[in-house]
Amino acid sequence: MPLTVADLMSKMPGAFLPEKAPGLEAVLQFEFSGEEAGAWYATIKDGKCTVEQGKHSNPKMTLSADSSDYVKIFTGELDGMKAFMQGKIKLAGDLNLAMKLMEMFKIR
């Protein structure tokens, strides 16, 4: 069965590596278009990550992408940096946080 955005978002808390984000408190907003259009946000606080569906009023960073491209990044079919350079992923807010995103979560 193909991986979905909902699958990925539900796995985020378990893939979070608190040792890679000491003292970090942030809300990451995810805006998806395409087949699985929708909004999700991850809250990182006290060494934990929680994920909820919807829009947060004050995210530190927002990532916007087509849902299928986002899934491809996590399955290794698409390089995250290339996707950003090609405009497939758009980032707003704290870009340093965006760069750390791949380090803070264990992918695969």
Q: What CATH code is carried by the domain that includes residue 61?
A: 3.30.1050.10
Number of domains in the chain: 1
Query: Which of 64, 66, 37 is CA-nearest to residue 53?
Result: 37
Residue 106 lies in a domain: no
**Three-class secondary structure assignment of 8-23:** HHHHHHHHECHHHCCC
pLDDT in tens, the chain (108 residues): 678 999 999 999 999 999 999 999 999 999 999 999 999 999 999 999 999 999 999 999 999 999 999 999 888 899 988 999 999 999 999 988 988 887 898 865
Question: Residue 75: which of 6, 19, 21, 8 has the closest Cα?
Answer: 8
DSSP 88: S
Is 58 within a domain? Answer: yes
* The model scores a pTM over 0.85: yes
Task: Give, for 71, the enclosing helix (H) or strand (E).
Answer: helix 67-75
Question: What domain range includes position 16?
Answer: 5-101
Residue type, 3: L
